[in-house]
């Protein structure tokens, strides 16, 4: 194994299965050091054994439930102890809940796991990202978010009811969180551009994975109806890894991609005032962690 000090370091959330695991594998095959984050103990153990068995692989798995901000903070501390620099943060983990679940910390679980978790994790890991950026060419250090075309079905952030106390629908809560992902990526790009850090967001496509296991019945039916256009986790991970590692994505900032092509997100996702407001609201919600 080569000296780890010469390797670029990536953090990949949701690395125990699906797109995240495929992205971790592809980065390891490119010679990166990868720190994965996963929730399920059995899947984490299986993925860690499989990925560490790759030739010259430098892989570590950290377990954590990213719907809990206390766990996000603990995971971030573990990562910071493991590496002084982070060249790429892939905020891939996400999911959907069939029913309204309020976490012990008082947040709706879909919004917490899909938006507040990557928001807090990115904030906590910013010293490592800035350390890498200070030693790298401008644009070489990346934060990449995984959103979805589902964001197109949400007209705006539900500012007055972020816990969906009224009229909860699992699919709608997921689309709401995916809109938040795009807005966060755009606002992050604005805030870290002077540090030489790039923030992008991508749509992975319809992925043939375990994603729909926890969906409500209507969303499961919808996912099944479009299964014929699904792609493998490996295919979806290709764009995620490209955004993290290729030269071309470093020439722009705050953009939205699918299949290595830049696309325009929905108008609601281009609202810079909403992006700033969401950042400020999110800062208050994660304060103390």
Catalytic residues: 174
Non-local CB neighbours of 85 within 8 Å, separated by 6+ positions: 9, 128, 131, 132, 135
Sheet holding 256-258, edge to edge: 58-63, 33-38, 9-13, 88-91, 141-146, 197-202, 256-258, 261-263
Distance CA 96, CA 220 (A): 11
C-alpha distances in Å from residue 139, one per residue of 115, 134, 192? 24, 11, 10
Burial class, 190, CB count within 10 angstroms (exposed 0-12 / middle 13-18 / buried 19+): middle
Tokens linked to 60 = 């570590």
């Amino acid at each position: 194994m080569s000296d780890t000090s010469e390797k670029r370091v990536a953090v990949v959330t949701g690395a125990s299965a699906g797109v995240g695991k495929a992205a971790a594998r592809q980065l390891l095959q490119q010679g990166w050091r990868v720190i994965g984050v996963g929730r399920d103990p059995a899947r984490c153990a299986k993925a860690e054994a499989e990925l560490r068995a790759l030739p010259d692989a430098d892989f570590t798995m950290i377990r954590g439930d990213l719907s809990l901000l206390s766990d996000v903070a603990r995971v971030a501390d573990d990562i910071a102890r493991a590496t002084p620099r982070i060249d790429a943060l892939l905020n891939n983990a996400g999911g959907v809940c069939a029913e309204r679940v309020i976490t012990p910390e008082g947040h709706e679980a879909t919004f917490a796991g899909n938006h507040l978790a990557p928001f807090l994790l990115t904030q906590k890991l910013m010293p490592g990202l800035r350390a890498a950026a200070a030693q790298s060419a401008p644009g070489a250090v990346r934060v990449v978010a995984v959103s979805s075309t589902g964001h197109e079905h949400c007209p705006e952030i539900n500012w007055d009811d972020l816990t969906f106390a009224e009229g909860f629908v699992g699919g709608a809560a997921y689309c709401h969180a995916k809109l938040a992902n795009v807005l966060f990526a755009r606002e992050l790009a604005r805030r870290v551009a002077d540090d030489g850090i790039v923030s992008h967001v991508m749509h992975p496509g319809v992925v043939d994975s375990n994603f729909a296991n926890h969906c409500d019945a209507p969303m499961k039916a919808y996912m099944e109806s479009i299964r014929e256009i699904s792609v493998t986790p490996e295919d979806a991970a290709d764009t995620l890894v490209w955004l993290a590692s290729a030269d071309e994505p470093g020439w722009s900032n705050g953009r939205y991609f699918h299949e290595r092509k830049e696309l325009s997100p929905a108008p609601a996702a281009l609202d810079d005032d909403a992006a700033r407001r969401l950042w400020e609201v999110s800062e208050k919600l994660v304060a103390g962690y």
